[in-house]
Amino acid sequence: MIHSTKSSDELRSVRNSRYILLCKLLLVIGTSFLLVFGSLTIIDHMYLLGTILLGCMSLGYVALYQLHRHDNIRFGIIAINSLCVVLSLTLLITGGRENTGIFWVYPLLAINIFINRFRTAVLLYGCFLIICGVLLLTPFSGLLLASYSSTEAIRIEFTLAALYLICLATLHSEERAQAMLIAMHDADMHKMAFFDTLTGLPNRWNIKDRLESLLHSSKAPDRHVGLLYIDLDNFKKVNDNYGHDMGDQLLGTFSARLRQLAEELNPSFQLELGRMAGDEFVVVVNGPHLINRTREVAERILQLFEEGLPVQGISHSVYASIGIALYPQHAETASELIHRADLAMYQAKGNGRNRFEYYSDALAGELRDQDRIESALRVALKHNFFSLVFMPMYDCQTLEIVGLEVLLRAENLQSDGIGPDRFIQIAEKTSLIKEIDLWVISNALERLVELQSATGFSGKLCINISGVELHNELFPAQVKALFNTYGVTPSSVEFEITETAFVVDDNKSRTILNELRALGISLALDDFGTGFTAFRQLINYPADCLKIDRSFVNDLFSANVARHKMVRIIEELAELYELRVVAEGVETQEQLDYLQQIGCDWVQGYFLSRPLPWPEMLSLMSNPDPVIK
């Protein structure tokens, strides 16, 4: 309710500002009138009335000064009330100039009623009306300096009473309208604060409050709470390819299906839904037998995606990764329950997506390791603990070194046996991978300049970049700036991107690749053959080279005929598309002989050379025998 209270205060602040302005205006007009009217009254030798009028004027100026300086609405209203009551009674008692003072009492009464709250106006001006009646209609009329006939006195009292009732009725209606406006505004603000505007589902704050309430009421041994944390897979691609409007409609479609599922399973499952943020949703399951119930709910949610999510006549291949955490088995508070379900969801993503995973202590340990590695990567970037090693690439027929693959090492992680296969995956889950990619490119180009100067090297420098860069619009410009800094010819560099990072019909990726290609950089598909749509990629993306995955080279002489034939199939496919072929993981003479026989272009592997640190690489390049055995 904090947001609602804040919104009410804001509306009241607007109203108070209006009242302050009104009070200032009334004081300016009133004091000006009192100055003129009081002066004329004294000139007419009505010293008592004139003195009172000028005294009220002086008090009005003091009130105006204080109101202007402090903007205290209560002080302003009290000052005006006091002045108007004194002035009205004075005009009634003295009659004013030529007995016309009573005509000024009516507007003064109306003005003062409208600057007060209803209850204050009822009490204050009810008392004023009684005093006027006593002075006009009782023996106390002898206190009046002006003379009023009984008919005039009755008419004045009746007019004051009628004006009093009319103004109060109007003020009451205005306050009711104001209260209704505040209530409606509070309701809107409450909805905005606790419900998602796109789907109408409870938002993160609402879900957390509801969970805390459920956990508090679920202390009994047979009462438990389960939380399913849902993240939509491939949703970002829908946004990138079709725009955010399409993405919003897709979220609406999914939330509608989720609501329908909840209606089918309730009340026995006691499901509550919510949208945490973006494409992340939660389902709360309340009651006994949580393992079975949460599993059934997760399976039913995954079934919602089996035929895709249709939006504007297009069926989108969107899926879900679901993490499940249970109270009290996995968490003791609402925040812990949400966090651990979120962790389990990321584990589901890491295990292949379109699945669900339960939180476990082993998962927590793995995630702690990830946090530790992420921290080490940040330290490596800050203190330059990264280093490069270079894997020579050889012409398959002549065994001359024709290229160098740049490989990254983190010195502060090597002692724990953590290599790039592990830490790159973690870096890709954060923004660190972009910084690491630029560090690698910058340092690799610096080494290339040194190598070309020292040995006249004219081959390719092959640099691995993350698939994350395929959606980084700034990446081509950043690469161009680095090439300009080091004065390197782009055609001497090749970027290697894993084949599994490519997605057919991903327009943003294709745009990034074409921009890199336009700079003159060649592109290689790394680990080719391991993706699900490998052969179609060649039609859709500007590749210059295919790198056969080491697993296929390793199976060249295995009993698995299909994998044995894969190397030749890739070679023939590359020949068809006029692409260069590089075989990774060559570790025996037999493998090298076979690759030479089928016409492979380049080879690399431990049989030829291990990855070398920079000093050894320079030594190798000056060695007439290109092969280390």
Query: What amino acid positions are annotated as catalytic residues?
Result: 279
Burial zone of 561 (CB within 10 Å; 0-12 exposed, 13-18 middle, 19+ buried): exposed
Q: What's the chain's length in residues?
A: 629
Distance CA 624, CA 21 (A): 92
Q: Are 546 and 570 in contact (CB under 8 A)?
A: yes
Distance CA 17, CA 23 (A): 10
How many Å separate Cα 254 from the centre of its chain? 20
Distance CA 581, CA 402 (A): 13
Backbone CA torsion sign across 378, 383, 385, 391: positive
Q: Which residues have CB under 8 Å from 599's CB, separation 6+?
A: 396, 571, 575
Distance CA 231, CA 241 (A): 19
Tokens of 241: 């390819």
Tokens of 251: 């979220």
Q: Which residue, 528, 532, 519, 523, is CA-closest to 494?
A: 523
Amino acid 363 reads: L
Burial zone of 439 (CB within 10 Å; 0-12 exposed, 13-18 middle, 19+ buried): middle
Burial zone of 142 (CB within 10 Å; 0-12 exposed, 13-18 middle, 19+ buried): exposed
SS3 content of the chain, % helix, strand, coil (to 5): 60, 15, 25
Distance CA 86, CA 391 (A): 99
Parallel, antiparallel, or unpaired: how do β-strands 545-548 and 522-528 relate? Answer: parallel
Distance CA 484, CA 1 (A): 57
Q: Which residue, 220, 258, 242, is CA-closest to 314?
A: 242
List Cα–Cα distances, 627 to 254, 406, 457, 598, 604, in angstroms: 58, 18, 16, 21, 11
Whether the bond between 267 and the residue before it is cis, its omega within 30 degrees of 0, is: yes
Tell me the DSSP string of 114-175. HTS-HHHHHHHHHHHHHHHHHHHHSGGGGG-SS---HHHHHHHHHHHHHHHHHHHHHHHHHH
List Cα–Cα distances, 216 to 41, 48, 420, 524, in angstroms: 75, 73, 45, 57
Whether the bond between 328 and the residue before it is cis, its omega within 30 degrees of 0, is: yes
Amino acid 565 reads: K
List Cα–Cα distances, 440 to 280, 387, 513, in angstroms: 34, 9, 19
Distance CA 98, CA 511 (A): 91
